[in-house]
């Protein structure tokens, strides 16, 4: 390195330091909290939910209003910093921290209001809310929304990229209930989007929200909470061959029968009692009269061995949300969130071309053998989409690109004890699970992947996540975020 080159680097570093100092000075001059490296609260605020990742944001801001968000984004644009919204912080690849060093995190935890208009039943929800708290607030009005089970997941990312839950076969995805969004664009402009106001932006924000702006408020059409809800769980320890037949029976149960949309379910798979075996479970919710449930599930159970255990829990709708949430409570206020060190993949199987028997056999053989005795803790969830209102909307209605799916399969594995480091064997374990299915279905099988189970190692993610919607999203990105302020791993490209 020449002396001139060395001096040039020093001058560049000094200039960057001055720019950063000016940026932070401007950012901290407003009436909202800002944490920077060295602040006492910064280490906790910059810790990822998935401890596989450690990133250092340039700043973490806690705005109190949409105008505060506007101020932050205007400064990011002026000083050329990348910005990212954080709602619940549960991004699988820590995109709520920017997915890399040097981003500005706009933490929405102060946006906690939930109101319901009694005349329209439209809820206005701040994007700092978590699913458990929203369920409780809506239930106070006798209302509900379709959403996932984990009480700590933030509504912002969840609704911005999908939002599947056990009521989705009847009610659709969370994003399907959205009637309007208040969003702050990269240049600081605050707009309200709907089907009649900025309709192209409204399209993009329902399926790829994080790439286009920071949503501060959601208006969603709520549904009447069912008068009865029954949670069901069945468990087996099966040979690989029996497990493959059981998965095939479940798939046929969906394909061959006019399955009521009040039935929501998933298969949960794990390591069996010995090599060559698979832990096989079916769990879900029945959102109609409890005395009708047995007649709905009976044709499926007739094709399966007698379960080793089963639990049927009838009750109120909000009780079902709490039971399926797995924590024994829905209120997240003042109770710390958990963390994990993990890797996840997903596979959305097309309803028009169900999984072949060959692929189901290969998959269960892989789980029963390669999945036994691994040094990571894993599970697989086969979530039922088939025959749902998710598919009722045209693919062009929202950015969500995989509406006509039979199943969304989530593959998930954690480091021993849930703490770092994450072993490399965990990546190959899940790659093998997915490949056992994909490689044993016909060439050109039109499978996809689910953005909320985001995978930073996924090839061809543009098509797998967004299908034919991706070219339109890329064009809209140029229009609404021309300087790529919202840039993070797997964001819509310029």
Q: What is the pLDDT of residues 154-207, one digit of tens each?
A: 999 999 999 999 999 999 999 999 999 999 999 999 999 999 999 999 999 999
Number of domains observed in the structure of the chain? 3
370-389 per-position pLDDT tens digit: 999 898 999 999 999 987 76
Task: Give the C-alpha separation, 231 to 310, whole Å.
Answer: 11
- HSE toward the beta carbon, residue 439, CA cutoff 13 A: 9
Asked if 59 and 124 sit in the same domain, the reply is no
131-145 per-position pLDDT tens digit: 999 999 999 999 999
Provide the residue range defining the domain that includes 153. Answer: 114-225+470-480
Asked if 42 and 84 sit in the same domain, the reply is yes
Alpha-carbon radius of gyration of the chain: 23
Tokens of 117: 């208009």
Q: Are 360 and 246 in contact (CB under 8 A)?
A: no
Tokens of 125: 């929800």
50 DSSP β-pair partners:
340
Provide the residue-wise pLDDT of the chain in tens; the chain has 494 residues.
555 554 444 444 665 677 889 999 999 999 999 999 999 999 999 999 999 999 999 999 999 999 999 999 999 999 999 999 999 999 999 999 999 999 999 999 999 999 999 999 999 999 999 999 999 999 999 999 999 999 999 999 999 999 999 999 999 999 999 999 999 999 999 999 999 999 999 999 999 999 999 999 999 999 999 999 999 999 999 999 999 999 999 999 998 878 999 999 999 999 999 999 999 999 999 999 999 999 999 999 999 999 999 999 999 999 999 999 999 999 998 888 999 999 999 999 999 999 999 999 999 999 999 999 898 999 999 999 987 767 677 778 999 999 999 999 999 999 999 999 999 999 999 999 999 999 999 999 999 999 999 999 999 999 999 999 999 999 999 999 999 999 999 999 98
Asked if 342 and 456 sit in the same domain, the reply is yes
> For the residues of 157-177, what is the DSSP string, one character each?
HHHHH----TTHHHH--GGGG
Tokens of 450: 């689910």
Asked if 251 and 377 sit in the same domain, the reply is yes
Asked if 95 and 137 sit in the same domain, the reply is no
Nearest to 340 by CA among 57, 89, 84: 89
CATH number, domain of 18, equals 3.30.465.10
Task: Give the C-alpha separation, 269 to 336, whole Å.
Answer: 28
Specify the pLDDT at position 10.
42
Q: Is residue 428 part of a domain?
A: yes
Asked if 103 and 147 sit in the same domain, the reply is no
> For the residues of 182-222, what is the DSSP string, one character each?
EEE-TTS-EEEE-SSSSHHHHHHHTTSGGGT-EEEEEEEE-
């Amino acid at each position: 390195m020449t002396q001139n080159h060395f001096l040039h680097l020093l001058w560049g570093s000094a200039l960057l330091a001055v720019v950063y100092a000016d940026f932070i000075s401007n950012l901290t001059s407003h009436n909202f909290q800002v944490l920077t490296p060295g602040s006492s609260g910064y280490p906790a605020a910059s810790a990822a939910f998935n401890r596989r990742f450690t990133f250092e944001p340039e700043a973490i801001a806690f705005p109190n209003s949409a105008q505060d968000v506007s101020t932050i984004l205007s400064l990011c644009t002026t000083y050329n910093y990348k910005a990212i919204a954080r709602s619940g912080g549960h991004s699988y690849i820590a995109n709520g921290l920017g997915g890399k060093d040097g981003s500005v995190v706009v933490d929405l935890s102060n946006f906690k209001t939930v109101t319901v208009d009694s005349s329209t039943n439209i809820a206005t929800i701040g994007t700092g809310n978590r699913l458990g708290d929203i369920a409780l607030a809506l239930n106070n009005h006798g209302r509900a929304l379709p959403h996932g089970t984990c009480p700590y997941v933030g509504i912002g990312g969840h609704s911005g990229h999908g939002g599947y839950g056990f009521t989705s076969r009847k009610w659709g995805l969370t994003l399907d209930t959205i009637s309007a969004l208040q969003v702050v664009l990269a240049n600081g402009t605050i707009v309200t989007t709907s089907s009649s106001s900025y309709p192209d932006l409204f399209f993009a924000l329902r399926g790829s929200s994080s790439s286009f702006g920071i949503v501060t408020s959601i208006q969603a059409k709520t549904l009447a909470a069912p008068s009865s809800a029954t949670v069901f769980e069945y468990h087996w320890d099966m040979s690989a061959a029996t497990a493959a037949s059981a998965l095939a029976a479940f798939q046929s149960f969906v394909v061959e029968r006019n399955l009521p949309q009040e039935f929501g379910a998933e298969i949960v798979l794990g390591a069996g009692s010995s090599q060559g075996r698979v832990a096989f479970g079916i769990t879900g919710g029945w959102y109609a009269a409890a005395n009708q449930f047995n007649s709905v599930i009976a044709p499926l159970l007739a094709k399966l061995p007698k379960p080793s255990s089963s639990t049927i829990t009838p009750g109120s709708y909000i009780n079902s949300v709490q039971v399926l949430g797995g924590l024994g409570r829905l209120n997240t206020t003042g109770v710390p969130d958990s963390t994990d060190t993990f890797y996840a993949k997903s596979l959305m199987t097309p309803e028009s071309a169900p999984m072949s028997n060959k692929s189901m056999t290969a998959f269960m053989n892989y789980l029963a053998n390669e999945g036994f005795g691994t040094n990571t803790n894993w599970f697989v969830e086969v979530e039922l989409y088939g025959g749902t209102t998710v598919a009722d909307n045209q693919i062009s209605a929202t950015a969500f690109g995989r509406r006509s799916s039979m199943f969304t399969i989530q593959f998930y594995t954690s480091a021993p004890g849930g703490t770092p480091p994450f072993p490399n064997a965990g990546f190959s374990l899940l790659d093998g699970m997915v490949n056992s299915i994909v490689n044993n279905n016909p060439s050109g099988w039109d499978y996809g992947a689910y953005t909320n189970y985001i995978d930073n190692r996924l090839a061809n993610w543009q098509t797998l996540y967004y299908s034919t919607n991706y070219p339109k999203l890329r064009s809209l990105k140029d229009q609404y975020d021309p300087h790529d302020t919202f840039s993070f791993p797997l964001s819509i490209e310029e």
